[in-house]
Amino acid sequence: MELEVLKERFFEIVAPSIPNEWDVEEALGPLASDEAEYVDDIFSQIPAIWPVSHSLCFAYLHAAGPALCCLDTDELSLWVHSLLDRYETGGLRAAQHFMENVEQQFACYRRGEGGLRLVDVRGRLQPYVNGLAGRELTLITADMPSTDGESLFLPGEIGVFSEQDSNFLLYKLMASFQWACLDGGTFEAPAHLPLKKKQAHPLDCFFSEFDSPANARCLFHFFETARILQYLREELPGLMRQAAPLLDQLMQDEADSSSLLSRLQDGLLHNHWLDEGTSVVDDTARQLVATVVESAKDNSGSLDAVRELMPLVDVHENFENTKPLVFQGKLRLQEMRNLGLRAKMDKELRMMQSAHLPPVLQQTPKEQQPANGGQQQGQDAAMIIDIETALEQLPPFMHSQMNLESALPEEKNSQTTEPGQSATTENTVNANEGSGGQVFAKEGQGGRGGEPEHFEPIVYDEWDFRRKGFRKNWCVVREKEVTPVKNTFMEKTLTQYRGHIRRLRHQFERLQTSERFVRRQREGSDIDFDAVVESMSDMQAGRHGSDRLFIRLAREQRDIAVYFLVDMSNSTAGWVGQSIKEALVLICEAMEVLNDRYGIYGFSGMRRLRCEVFPVKRMDERYSQTVRERISAIGPREYTRMAPAIRHMTSLFSTVEAKVRLLIVLSDGKPEDYDDYKGDYAIEDTRHALLEAKAQGIHPFCITIDRQAHEYMDHMYGEVNYIFIDKIKQLPARMSEIYRSLTS
Amino acid sequence: MSGQQLRIDEYRIETEPYYLATGDELAVAEAAYADGSPLLLKGPTGCGKTRFMEYLAWYLKRPLVTVSCHDDLSTSDLVGRYLIRSGEAVWTDGPLTMAVRAGAICYLDEVVEARKDTTVVIHPLADDRRQLPIEKRGELLTAPNEFMLAVSYNPGYQSVLKDLKASTRQRFVALSFDYPEADMEAEIVCTEAGVDASLAKSLVKLAGMTRGLKDSGLPEGASTRLLIQTGKLIGRGISVKTACRAAISEALTDDKELLAAMDEMISSLF
């Protein structure tokens, strides 16, 4: 095909963007010689790739031709799918690497060949490991198996054996072995070397006593391996029985008898020892292994063995040249040490924060210091205990203050917020507000030490309709506190809608659990005398009397949980936002007479990495003064990336148990973000998020004031699941009405 | 009344049920019985709450009336109701009234499942009044000294809806139950299911592993009861792995990945 023709088609596809002509020429050059049908296939994928990354698209055009040598044309879209996944997880380089080797990276997996990947077995292996450990031990990809006490590191792919079952078994063995090291006490500090702050791991201190610490370390690891294998044989006999043939196969071919360690490994795995009397070192080692395996209950046996064997080892031996056994991996003593320290520091920090009043805390250790005087060693421990007990040492009025903190956040905010801050200033600060808000949150955290988990970002996938697949871990959603604002809005609204609220409450009250007597039942708490009389007269008349003689009290309980998700985008500035807020007040006032659980969240944000969700009222929170002030504080912020917020609500709903779970979205327009999140892409993503919600048994419903709503709402929510409100002034009144009709 | 007497005798426990005490729960329960205080047992499912009540009833030589509570349980289901028999309204005692009259132990299992308004009926019984008003008959029953009220619930369900009202729970002497220590649990499985000690130990290990799956989406791990069931299956000649799968993993979850993970645990252990 002519290059000019190709160029023209390419520009058509990527319009309205206009890439550099020479880039396009360069990328399309190799395709010019290809068959037309191939080119059509290759071009058909451009719309999926171009919006993600232009450079990726050019790279793809380069690679697609050669790729088609080993791919069927109908596999191409799958390949592109994986390519985009790679790009999004590992960047352009990972994607290029993926494209360079189509056969190895993609095709062989398609055919079910190649190794077993950790990602494919994680679903099975992770709960297995958690079950073994009784806690979460995250599986992380690494070159060699190892553990740092909080995570297990396993290779990303195992292709040692030709059967996948064996490869999986090896994964399982690796994971079990690493767990057993933790559980069996390989990393325990020896009794004579206590764990100290600002020092290497005690075991490392032990190794450093030898001429060659590295050799000592390897030997220790070997003896521990022998012990842990025995431990596994006792703890998990089934696994070891299954794995026995596997262990036999391991290292069979690469046994190298020149190094002592590799001779020992061979001895341990295959029971091939040097003949007795050949070498003193080997004989001693063999006996030591036997002792460790038979009698050692903790790592002290291995330490003794190292102590005994090291003087006999030839100075020229370098055990680091010997590959560790494949499941054995390496010891991560330093990481383990750091982790221990970090956990301690985290704890200290948390205590500091939760104690709320740093000055008091700073004093406490000082007061204690003289008492501890010269006891350097006890100092660290003492300090930690101090912080832990500091809470108890605080005066009682501070206890209550801390308990009240969650109930009365306006108090803490009065300390951190500038006195003049009000809703109006909030409304005027727009684009800069985001970053300013973040800084503020950071500053605030130390002081108020709220619950930090509220600020933990959560990552959600995003649906890309062009490739009919998810962009993995694409959007970062943060929950951000809304600073409660004291102003006259609440009062004004309550006065303005006084009559309305009273009427609403009355209407809502009637929605509440209806108790009614059901007559003429076979069973019930009371006798239905009408039925009895009737039945008896029937019998008198010689007819068959009914046995439905009881009254039963039927209670229809409402079991409804609802989240209101409020658009806080910039476009809601002015009377739209005002009406939305009024509507929220009205619905809250009315909801108070119902037992329905409800939560209110606002959402806004800018770009995928900063989607923000603002809890105005959490599901389990009371409709308190703070919540009222948070409603007053709702104001326009940035853009409308709706789907991540919906996905967040869906995940919040997963912890809520209710017969009816309702998600009511209040919006003023199409989903849209600062980047290219707009148009069909945004609508399709939102639609998909709603479908996901529906799959979870949540009923989404949208109240919109966008005049163009009919064009896309049908598609997003389904015909009957949204309502368009023409006159914004009606919103407050209509919303409660809508809620009532939705739930009755 | 003789009919009543006959009925209550059916609730007597003649032979000593197997119960291995894990702490001083028996002493506490006995003291509570002597004081006329009601008992609240809490703990995960299948950890021995009901068995403890059976043992206590046997030990105290009182009949045990057990009511499994559900969300449709009404007050008259507990207290009693009028029934129409051959044209006449006949009063029939509910299990609670029957237990009060006979001085038995009334055990309301999973009491949080009952509606809150139903639970209120036990309030006057559960404090020092020890009375049961039967409104429909205009009768006020005072419980004899031998009567004891016991309720149980599982705090693991963690639902706002399913929690005991403070006014209810503050009337009880509470005993917390949990799965026994590994050795004891193995002994229990060994005795109850009649399997050998090493198998019992492995079963307990497996249970321990499933209990570690809380964060992975398994709200409750295998209970002692499940282990006993598994042991019994094995005793009937079912292979260990099949029995574990049938009585433990499939009983615990439908989730494919968790099932696979539990399969791995089973194959590792046996």
Mind listing the pLDDT tens digit for each residue in A601-614? 998 888 888 888 89
Three-state SS for A439-467 is: HHHHHHHHHHCCCHHHHCCEEEEEEECCC
B240 to chain A: closest CA residue: A238
Q: A513-523 pLDDT, tens per residue?
A: 667 788 888 88
Do A576 and A664 share a domain, yes or no?
Answer: yes
A491-499 long-range Cβ contacts below 8 angstroms, 24+ apart:
A493/A581, A493/A582, A493/A585, A493/A586, A494/A585, A494/A589, A496/A582, A497/A582, A497/A585, A497/A586, A497/A732
Do A58 and A201 share a domain, yes or no?
Answer: no
Do B154 and B206 share a domain, yes or no?
Answer: no
Work out the minimum CA distance from B51 to partner chain A, whole angstroms.
Answer: 27
| pLDDT range class, residue A348, cuts 50, 70, 90 | low
Q: C-alpha B90: how far from its chain's center?
A: 32
Do B139 and B239 share a domain, yes or no?
Answer: no
Mean pLDDT value across residues A543-567: 82
pLDDT at position A486 is 84
Q: A351-408 pLDDT, tens per residue?
A: 665 544 444 333 334 333 333 434 444 444 434 434 434 433 333 333 333 333 333 3
- Read off the CATH number of the domain in which B32 is found: 3.40.50.300
A124 to chain B: closest CA residue: B261
Cα A33 from Cα A584, distance rounded (Å): 64
Rounded to the nearest integer, the mean pLDDT of chain A is 75
Residues of chain A in Cβ contact (below 8 Å) with chain B: 123-128, 130-136, 172, 176, 235-239, 242, 524-527, 532, 536, 539, 549, 553, 555, 559, 597, 620, 657
- The last residue of one of the domains, among B123, B144, B176, is B176
Do B232 and B249 share a domain, yes or no?
Answer: yes
Q: A48-94 pLDDT, tens per residue?
A: 888 778 888 888 887 877 777 777 777 777 888 888 877 877 778 87
Cα A79 from Cα A101, distance rounded (Å): 12
Classify residue B70 as exposed, middle or buried by CB count within 10 Å of its CB (0-12, 13-18, 19+).
exposed
Q: Which residue has the higher pLDDT, A627 or A708?
A: A627
Most confident of A315-324, A453-462, A656-665: A656-665
pLDDT at position A372 is 41
- Beta-carbon separation of A131 and B209 below 8 A: yes
Do B7 and B80 share a domain, yes or no?
Answer: yes
Sequence letter at residue A86: R
What range defines the domain where residue B85 resides? 2-176
Do A46 and A178 share a domain, yes or no?
Answer: no
What range defines the domain where residue A617 resides? 489-493+558-743
- The last residue of one of the domains, among B121, B144, B176, is B176
Mutation choice for A interface testing from B88, B92, B268, B269 by most A CBs within 10 A: B268
Domain count along chain B: 2
Bridge partners of B133, per DSSP, are B140
Residue A427, pLDDT above cutoff 80: no
Give percent above pLDDT 70 in chain A.
78
Q: Which residue has the higher pLDDT, B267 or A412?
A: B267
Residue A511, pLDDT above cutoff 50: yes
pLDDT at position A623 is 85
Characterize the bridge pairing of strands A550-556 and A514-521.
Answer: antiparallel
A243 to chain B: closest CA residue: B268
Which uninterrupted H or E stretch holds A724? Answer: strand A722-724
- Between positions 133 and 162 of B, the ones with CB within 8 A of A are 136, 159-161
Two tokens, residue B87: 């044209």
Q: A223-239 pLDDT, tens per residue?
A: 888 888 889 988 888 98
Q: What ipTM goes with this model?
A: 0.80
pLDDT at position A50 is 83
Do A650 and A713 share a domain, yes or no?
Answer: yes
With beta carbons under 8 A apart, name residues in chain B contacting A532.
84, 89
- Which of B216, B257, B270 lies nearest to residue A238, judging by beta carbons? B270
Which candidate, A728, A533, A92, places its Cα nearest to that of B89? Answer: A533
- The last residue of one of the domains, among B128, B157, B176, is B176
- Asked if B76 is an interface residue toward chain A (Cβ–Cβ < 8 A), one would say yes
- Beta-carbon separation of B209 and A124 below 8 A: no
Cα A364 from Cα A174, distance rounded (Å): 47
Do B121 and B227 share a domain, yes or no?
Answer: no
Residue A440, pLDDT above cutoff 60: no
Mutation choice for B interface testing from A119, A120, A121, A128 by most B CBs within 10 A: A128
With beta carbons under 8 A apart, name residues in chain A contacting B207.
none
With beta carbons under 8 A apart, name residues in chain B contacting A172.
264, 268
Which candidate, A677, A703, A669, A682, places its Cα nearest to that of A571? Answer: A669
Cα A42 from Cα A64, distance rounded (Å): 7
In A107-211, beta strands by DSSP E: 116-117, 138-141, 146-147, 151-154, 157-158
Q: Which residue has the higher pLDDT, B18 or A253?
A: B18
Mean pLDDT value across residues B107-126: 86
- Asked if B211 is an interface residue toward chain A (Cβ–Cβ < 8 A), one would say yes
pLDDT at position A59 is 84
Q: What is the pTM of this model?
A: 0.63
Residue B61, pLDDT above cutoff 70: yes
Cβ contact A466:A14 at 8 Å: no
pLDDT at position A544 is 85
Do B13 and B84 share a domain, yes or no?
Answer: yes
- Read off the CATH number of the domain in which A598 is found: 3.40.50.410
Do A206 and A295 share a domain, yes or no?
Answer: yes
- Beta-carbon separation of B161 and A657 below 8 A: yes
Q: A308-341 pLDDT, tens per residue?
A: 888 887 777 777 777 788 888 888 777 777 766 6
Q: DSSP code of A105?
A: I
Q: Which residue has the higher pLDDT, A109 or B119?
A: B119
Do B75 and B18 share a domain, yes or no?
Answer: yes
Residue A418, pLDDT above cutoff 50: no
Q: Which residue has the higher pLDDT, A633 or B32?
A: B32
